[in-house]
Amino acid sequence: MDAGLKPSGVLETVLYARDLIAAEAFYAGVLGLHVTAKAAERQLFLRCGEQMLLIFNPDATEIPPPADAKIPVPPHGARGPGHVCFSAAAEEIGRWRSHLEDRGIHIEADFEWPGGGRSIYFRDPAGNCLEFAEPRIWNLS
């Protein structure tokens, strides 16, 4: 392994949901992410800061692409709930909690980490576990 070679960050993260209409309503409408592209019944691409959050329908992405596909992305998918943690400043987390609760979204957990930093956990319509947390939970701030 080349000692100087390592990833500089995460460019995209993927969650899976069969109901992409509900996913779009949640991620764009509730969380305010910008939809950059979508394909009915297959995928939803959302910008989140300098990264992308992709929502794929696993029923469509587990199928191998045709031999003549213009973009031959290998099949991939997951079943069951995934997890994504969104970064939020300490003063934003309480506001996020109120924003979510005002829209009927249940907060499953709200706590301070032993090493410092607060997290709140909730679910998207597909059951994925989502979190808002201060970057300092990983000593990143």
Question: H/E element holding 85?
Answer: strand 83-87
Number of helices (H) and strands (E), helices first, in the chain? Answer: 3, 8
| Domain of residue 44, residue span | 12-59+78-138
| pLDDT tens, position by position, 1-37 | 677 888 888 999 999 999 999 999 999 999 999 999 9
* Cα–Cα dist 141/60, whole Å: 38
**Does some domain include residue 26?**
yes
**Does some domain include residue 29?**
yes
**Does some domain include residue 133?**
yes
CATH code for the domain in which residue 93 is found: 3.10.180.10
**Does some domain include residue 55?**
yes
What's residue 24's pLDDT? Answer: 98
**Does some domain include residue 5?**
no
| pLDDT tens, position by position, 74-108 | 888 888 899 999 999 999 999 999 999 999 999 99
